[in-house]
Structure 1
């Protein structure tokens, strides 16, 4: 029996044009994608504070990777739990919970008095970011028309890149204003402000989340068809509202009858094949080493001979490049398609990472640190930015687009949670191992990342199907069919 809608007695809105509807949906996608901004900000804000944190708390170099990556453990747990929370409580409530967790983390991580204290609050923030990383692509895919779904899904990565840029820029501003990250800025050192400033985006996200309508798919699944109809009337043409609601309910009813197939569990090592494809896709996105650039770049460029101020500037410029090329993905994804862009990105990453490996093979060791002679420093910088371009225009946004599209509606949130958790775990592995690998041999380190970039090309060629222009319901039926054949 349908639950009574709170809006069932509302005065009907006049029919909206296609442009008006697209503007509304775009506004919803932008607001939901603020979770991606928190994702990017939280994961990169530590870039400018790494050296200060290790000095302040006396952390050994071998343990610095764990400290940097501590938030990622929370992210993995949050991503895994976020999908289930969203299915139980709804997308909007879970977004708000994520904003509260990040708000608390920002304050207390900035005021931490010991390593264990700092790690605990970074874990709390990680939980919020992990939850947000799941909810945004799920929500955006569920409110977006298929003609522009890829473009709107790319907003998640655009928000991530803007978050990275904001984090690195704010790190630079605090460090330059104080004279260095270690210097006092008011009552506390500059590096502490780098974390505390995160309260601003967390508040913005929380306020916007409370103003968003719930996903029509979630409402229909809960039997709240009047509310689902009201939301659909804001995002699809009036004459297609009933058809859209019928399609959603039909898909929900069909999948509910297939209890086994509506679960992420399956015959392939305990999971459905489509879930494994999502997991591997998410792992490859991290194993190319992209977050080494955004977590360690300031420290890395200082280590190879650049001044602290120049290293901050280089990192900020790289983040600007990352933002700019994400617009390329937004413009092309619904025209060119997901699969061709991923393949092109894999080629670009393989080549640029190969050049980075070659550049670091020419390094001299000065006072225990590598130093790039002659023009090799410029070669490494150019290769690093070409790598960011190749990733930012393809794998960065498109992995999230595909995770939001490729799963059947009945398992979308849960499967997205598993895929996002795998992404965060892979991120953790790369983050923790980079200090150790780089201390052994930077050529080997970037050579490994280049190998994974090459393997990502093979994986996409063999396993990824094009989703451009297809409805979520059709792709869900395909996934169920392929599972039954497995």
Structure 2
């Protein structure tokens, strides 16, 4: 006999739901591509703008300034003008950023271009998961929300592949390609194609029904829900959403994050901030932003380092697909615990391998014996554990764990914290890699992974199978 959830699932329009989720997750692809494209362009930036280590860190980290502001502003803006409208703005920002970054004639212009792209990345990072969670049934919400991370990694991998192909074809990232522009500029310009596709595709999907109910557009919400779940279920959903808002019915605002009975910040917000910050403090974006530079630093050639990035991307996609299969079966919290433990061990192994690095003639750095292979295997296992757990699950939970009234505001603050943590890790890495060195830096990431295990045990509540209207906090 089918369960209630399974019976409800039989009545939903899976084709329509899958189509609109596919469009929404193009935002994840753009998030990944815009974040990963910088990975293979650093030699070009250094040569074109005469940058040192600090300058590289600032140019690479510029996107994170925009991302933190975009994430914070998008959550609130989505409550004012709608989820789809914010995604449309993000798509336009991606397009402008791609064209301007490739054409930048100075470091200042490049930084502005990357901040513009960052606004799009930040907006897409928080709004796509919310939109997906608000148009999908509880029984498969985790699986469909996890597609966002698959698309992020696909975007990253797409950027890695494009960078590798363009650099290989030109003879290096700084070598001239079409129209006598260097390959690294074309790495940015290529991003304009998926950005345009994203914008056009967004025009054909509906607004979130939960947003429409909040705005008082019940007939429009009912029409969207009827297409999603059928007429009978649409009426029930509208009534549920209205009931969840009735106890505290006013326009969502940032102050809703403070519990009026106690005058303190709601505990659910601390959980959201913790999930967002720990996802970054384990150092994952060091791999995404500095992968090529990292492997070159321990003796890999540029060509081989770019190939290693592609391998990491493919493994990441495989791990995310495993998450899709497991997240609605065993739940969010168990996957987070598995990921924390696995990342702590693999990061510690990477730290040990880097501690054996030796400097030879011409300041060439190598890892003796089989330690280079150990570091490579451990780093890729780390990527697998991350994308099996914290990569997709953090976004799944931020999209679903907050009650309706505070979902936009909770995401605004949590998303802002996530990108600030991202910036802190990413901008600091070039300097930390020099002093105190890779071994101690990776030891710090391993400690953060270990601490995240105990954070999840204490602070995170399981959300598997729960309706969004039942979320508390």
TM range (shorter): over 0.9
- The Cα shift of 1:303 comes to 1.6
**Aligned twin of 2:102:** 110
User: In structure 1, which of residues 449, 467, 485 is the aligned counterpart of residue 445 of structure 2?
Assistant: 449
3-state SS of paired residue (1:212): coil
Is the alpha carbon distance of 1:153 and 1:91 closer, same or farther for their aligned partners in structure 2, counting shifts above 3 Å?
A: same
Q: 2:373 aligns with which of 360, 375, 378?
A: 378
1:379-406 deviations in whole A, cap 9, x for unaligned?
A: 0000000000000111100000000111
CA displacement at 1:22 relative to structure 2: 2.1
Check if 1:69 corresponds to 2:65: no
Aligned to 2:20: 28
**Alpha-carbon deviations, 1:424-449, whole Å to 9, x = none?**
11111110111111102111010000
How far apart are 1:269 and its partner, in Å? Answer: 9.4
Structure 1 CA distance for aligned equivalents of residues 187 and 216 of structure 2: 45
The alignment status of 1:156 with 2:151, answered yes or no, reads no
Whether the aligned pair in 1 keeps the contact of 2:252 and 2:409 (CA below 8 Å) is no
Whole-angstrom CA distance in 2 between matches of 1:79 and 1:269: 25
Is the aligned partner of 1:239 residue 2:235? Answer: no
Change (3 A) 1:317 1:258: closer
Q: Which digits, 9 at most, give the CA deviation of each residue in 1:270-296, with x for residues without a partner?
A: 632211210111000000000111111
Q: Following the alignment from structure 1 to structure 2, what is the Cα–Cα distance between the partners of residues 262 and 215?
A: 23
Task: Pick the aligned partner of 1:48 from 32, 40, 44.
Answer: 40
Are the aligned partners of 2:9 and 2:137 in contact in 1 as well (CA < 8 Å)?
no
Which consecutive unaligned segments of at least 5 residues does structure 2 have? 1-7
Is 1:459 equivalent to 2:452 in the alignment?
no
Would you say how many aligned residue pairs link Structure 1 and Structure 2?
462
> Counterparts in 2 of 1:181-220, with a 5 A limit?
181-187=173-179, 188-220=181-213
Does 2:247 correspond to 1:254?
A: yes
Give matches, 1:367-446, under 5 Å.
367-368=362-363, 370-440=365-435, 441-446=437-442
With normalisation by structure 2, the TM-score equals 0.95
Deviates more, 1:249-258 or 1:61-70: 249-258
TM-score normalized by the length of structure 1: 0.92
TM-superposed CA distance for 1:260, in Å, is 9.1
1:178-234 deviations in whole A, cap 9, x for unaligned? 000000002200000011111111111111111110100111111111110100011
- Check the 8 A contact 2:154/2:317 in 1, yes or no: yes
What is the DSSP-based 3-state SS (H/G/I as helix, E as strand, rest coil) of the residue aligned with 1:154? helix
- Is residue 346 of structure 1 aligned with residue 345 of structure 2? no
1:317 paired to 2:326: no
Alpha-carbon contact 2:11-2:230 (below 8 Å) kept: no
Q: Aligned residue for 1:287?
A: 281
1:147 aligns with 2:139: yes
Which consecutive unaligned segments of at least 5 residues does structure 1 have? 1-15, 480-486
Secondary structure, aligned partner of 1:293: helix
Q: Deviations over 1:1-35 (max 9, x none)?
A: xxxxxxxxxxxxxxx99376122212211211111
d(CA) in 2 for partners of 1:38, 1:266: 36
Q: 1:211 to 1:449 in 2, by over 3 A?
A: same
Where in structure 1 do 4 or more consecutive aligned residues deviate above 4 Å?
257-262, 266-270
Equivalent of residue 222 in structure 1, options 215, 229, 237: 215
| C-alpha distance 446-322 of structure 1, shift in aligned 2 (>3 A) | same
Mapped contact 1:262–1:410 kept (Cα < 8 A): no
Aligned to 2:354: 360
Q: Secondary structure at the match of 2:359?
A: strand
Whole-angstrom distance in 1 between the partners of 2:91 and 2:184? 22
Note if 1:58 corresponds to 2:42.
no
Question: How many angstroms does 1:254 deviate by?
Answer: 2.1
